[in-house]
Amino acid sequence: MIYARMGNPTRSLLERTISQLEVLGKDDVRAASTSAFSSGMAGIGAVIMAMPRPLHIILPDDIYHGVPTQLKTVFDEDRGISSSPIDMTNVFSLENEIENQMGDDKNILIWMETPSNPLCKVIDIQSTCSLAQKFQNNGKMIATVVDSTWAPPTLTQPLMLGSDIVLHSGTKYLGGHSDVLLGVVTSSPFTQNGQQLGESIRQIQVALGATASPLDCWLTLRGLRTLHLRVERQCQTAMAVAKFLSCHPLVIKTHYPGLKSHPQHSIAARQMKNKQFGGMLSFELKDEVMATAVAGAVDVIHRATSLGGTETLIEHRASMEPEDRKVSPGGLLRVSIGLEDADDLIKDLDRALRIAAKVVGN
């Protein structure tokens, strides 16, 4: 290769490995196409750039705030791109939105984030992709993409459920040790949209040069060796912590797909593997003051953003969101479960809740 951005053996190995993980178990052995980027946001940008114009993007109403920020600051209507947030768990709302946008003769990108950040909503991937296929006509593209960062391939394989594209912030669970900056985008070998977009995304990766570094690719390959073990442990611990929080008198609501009280629990049980529901959860307290007091009182758990590493992290999510696009309740805390003992985490949260109650005067 003339330039490393055009090809690197370590990056190529990572891309092949991710492709295999995304379609593992499929009898059809055609390879998916994976492109590794310098960050998850670079991968998101490549997906948007690969879509034909004019383009309308249908977004979940509680999507990670970085996506609408990118749309607002980089991809706006002057560039032929518009967007609308809806409740993606409501299939009727989605169907109506597709019909409305098709009337404007636009290409459509249906963006799924499941479980969602931070409310842990679970979108029915298979039903959503089937709906997109129903409307595919008139030469316009109606494509589907799943941000599956919270559910790595050992938990969910969106391409096997009909999605055209799946993407991950490899910085999180794939790398798994909080020492990587990387994103991966994989296109489906089973859909026409996936095949077309995969080729375009690869061209954008090379042309823009936003490629993952060889070192970050190597670190991610190292992380993938223990992915299934780490995620299995994190899921088990998250379930135990979620059950504790759901019964705590100071906790108003606990968001975790593994709880039977979760509104999309049955969907999660169907599309997430081995009765494992992820290592991410959130819970709500009465107000922001109480939430920040709890976050400040933990000891074993670290107060920090990011997720998917070996250490358990907690953050007051609303503080991280732009003022004009807050989706988190003021009393919500998001937790990324690490590899610590479940009892240690539960004791830490119980202690922090008791301290906060005394300080706030609850």
**Marked catalytic residue, from 11, 64, 124, 216:** 64
**Marked catalytic residue, from 5, 243, 286, 326:** 5
Helix (H, G, I), strand (E, B) or coil at 304: coil
Q: Is 226 exposed, middle or buried (0-12, 13-18, 19+ CB in 10 A)?
A: middle
Q: Token pair 């009393």 is at which residue?
A: 331
Helix (H, G, I), strand (E, B) or coil at 1: coil
Q: Is 72 a catalytic residue?
A: no
Q: Is 16 a catalytic residue?
A: no
**Distance (Å, rounded) from C-alpha 305 to C-alpha 168?**
17
Radius of gyration of the chain (CA): 20
How far separated are the first and last CA of the chain, in Å rounded? 64
Instruction: Tally Cβ neighbours within 10 Å of residue 104.
Output: 10
**Marked catalytic residue, from 121, 172, 233, 334:** 172
Q: Is 5 a catalytic residue?
A: yes
Q: Token pair 């599956």 is at which residue?
A: 148
Nearest in space to 326 (alpha carbons), one of 317, 336, 315, 335: 317
Q: At what angle do helices 125-135 and 91-102 cross, to 10 degrees?
A: 30
Angle value at C-alpha 79, between 159 and 158, nearest 5 degrees: 10
Q: Is 317 a catalytic residue?
A: no
CB 242 within 8 A of CB 258: yes
**Distance (Å, rounded) from C-alpha 189 to C-alpha 166?**
12
Which tokens in the block code for residue 290? 């109480």
Q: φ, ψ for residue 271 (rounded to 5)? A: -105, -10
Q: Is 343 exposed, middle or buried (0-12, 13-18, 19+ CB in 10 A)?
A: exposed
Nearest in space to 342 (alpha carbons), one of 268, 254, 297, 279: 279
CB 217 within 8 A of CB 171: no
Question: From residue 345, how far is each of 72, 241, 244, 250 by CA, in Å?
Answer: 38, 7, 10, 17
**Marked catalytic residue, from 62, 106, 121, 147:** 147
* Residues involved in catalysis: 5, 64, 147, 172
